[in-house]
């Protein structure tokens, strides 16, 4: 883990808001910008990145020395997921500490090598997994994913507050399913509400990284194992994910610059 420059947590307060879709496309967008990127599926109870990346169900990570795991390569990403370690019919009937232990093992015993970014697809909520991550890793920042719906926004607020309590900076908010555009007539409709992501970003003083549409193509591409950024790199949707990646890179660069500026200015004289 010492060879990983930046760890980015992609989180949400509740499930079903497109967090995993955002995580995989963010990782691929960062890679498209020339970075070395890893993706850790930390959703121990419901891992989905194996399907989204198109990794065959029988794939198992190779081991080194009987202790370390070799990441599974997919679309140029180094990846690790609980889905690689169990079958798709195996339920994780674990208490919180066991799930936290599984995350720590995947995080610390995977030979990631040199990475510019490790994107972590977090489980929904504010429980053991999130606390374990804050204790085990130096997280550079978190991206909060939400929909404009009031219920999702309320849970997203809890996620922001949780990361702030453990001193993890919020890099910004991604609003999913912001608008539905009819494929037949082009009519636009805000099914889940309007300007919700903009509102929560303003309330917490963090940037709104992007507002993504409720698009059939995004769902079809991730279900087929070829996410939007690689299957339709010139599409407007891929452009929005690249916009998120650029904003995240800029925020982390600024963060590193500010950290350097915090050192005292030492002068030595003969007096």
- Residues 159-167, mean pLDDT to the nearest whole number: 89
Is the pLDDT assigned to residue 178 strictly greater than 60?
A: yes
Distance set, CA 230 to CA 75, 151, 248 (Å): 8, 32, 19
pLDDT at 96: 61
Distance set, CA 123 to CA 107, 129, 131, 269 (Å): 15, 7, 12, 55
Percent of the chain surpassing pLDDT 70: 90
Tell me how far apart the alpha carbons of residues 76 and 43 are, in angstroms, rounded to a whole number: 21
Tell me how far apart the alpha carbons of residues 44 and 102 are, in angstroms, rounded to a whole number: 7
pTM for the whole structure: 0.89
pLDDT at 120: 95
pLDDT category at 260 given cuts 50, 70, 90 is very low
Other C-beta atoms closer than 10 Å to the C-beta of 127 total 13
Tell me how far apart the alpha carbons of residues 43 and 59 are, in angstroms, rounded to a whole number: 18
- Residues 47-53, mean pLDDT to the nearest whole number: 93
pLDDT at 181: 79
- Residues 159-172, mean pLDDT to the nearest whole number: 91
pLDDT at 132: 79
Is the pLDDT assigned to residue 262 strictly greater than 50?
A: no
Cα distance from N-terminal residue to C-terminal residue, the chain: 45
pLDDT tens per residue, range 200-247: 999 999 999 999 999 889 999 999 999 999 999 999 999 999 999 999
Where along the chain do its domains lie?
4-260
Pairing of strands 68-69, 72-74: unpaired
pLDDT at 224: 94
Pairing of strands 77-81, 72-74: antiparallel
Is the pLDDT assigned to residue 108 strictly greater than 60?
A: yes
> Which tops the pLDDT comparison, 122 or 131?
122
Is the pLDDT assigned to residue 267 strictly greater than 60?
A: no
Q: For 5-9, 29-33, 105-109, 264-268, which range has the lowest pLDDT when averaged over its residues?
A: 264-268
Is the pLDDT assigned to residue 264 strictly greater than 60?
A: no
Is the pLDDT assigned to residue 111 strictly greater than 70?
A: yes
pLDDT tens per residue, range 9-47: 999 888 889 999 999 999 999 999 999 999 999 888 878
pLDDT tens per residue, range 61-105: 999 988 899 999 999 999 999 888 876 666 665 666 677 778 888
CATH tag, 4-260? 3.40.50.300
pLDDT at 88: 66
Tell me how far apart the alpha carbons of residues 203 and 34 are, in angstroms, rounded to a whole number: 33
């Amino acid at each position: 883990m010492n060879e990983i420059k930046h760890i980015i947590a992609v989180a949400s307060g509740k499930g079903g808001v497109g967090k995993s879709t955002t995580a995989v496309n963010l990782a691929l967008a960062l890679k498209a910008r020339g970075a070395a990127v890893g993706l850790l599926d930390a959703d121990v109870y419901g891992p989905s990145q194996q399907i989204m990346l198109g990794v065959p169900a029988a794939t198992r990570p190779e081991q080194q020395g009987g202790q370390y795991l070799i990441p599974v390569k997919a679309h140029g990403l180094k990846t690790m997921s609980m889905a690689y370690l169990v079958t798709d019919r195996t339920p994780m009937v674990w208490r919180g500490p066991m799930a936290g232990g599984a995350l720590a093992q995947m995080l610390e015993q995977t030979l990631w090598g040199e990475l510019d970014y490790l994107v972590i697809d977090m489980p929904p909520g504010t429980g053991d997994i999130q606390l374990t991550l804050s204790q085990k890793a130096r997280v550079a920042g978190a991206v909060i994913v939400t929909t404009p719906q009031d219920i999702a926004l309320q849970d997203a607020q809890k996620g922001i507050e949780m990361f702030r309590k453990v001193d993890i900076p919020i890099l910004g908010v991604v609003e999913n399913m912001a608008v539905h555009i009819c494929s037949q007539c082009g009519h636009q409709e805000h099914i889940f509400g309007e300007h919700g992501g903009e509102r929560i970003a303003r309330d917490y003083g963090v940037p709104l990284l992007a507002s993504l549409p409720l698009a059939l193509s995004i769902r079809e591409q991730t279900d087929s194992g070829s996410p939007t950024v690689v299957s339709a790199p010139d599409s407007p949707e891929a452009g929005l994910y690249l916009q998120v990646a650029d904003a995240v890179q800029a925020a982390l660069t600024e963060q590193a610059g500010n950290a350097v500026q915090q050192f005292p200015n030492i002068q030595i004289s003969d007096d």
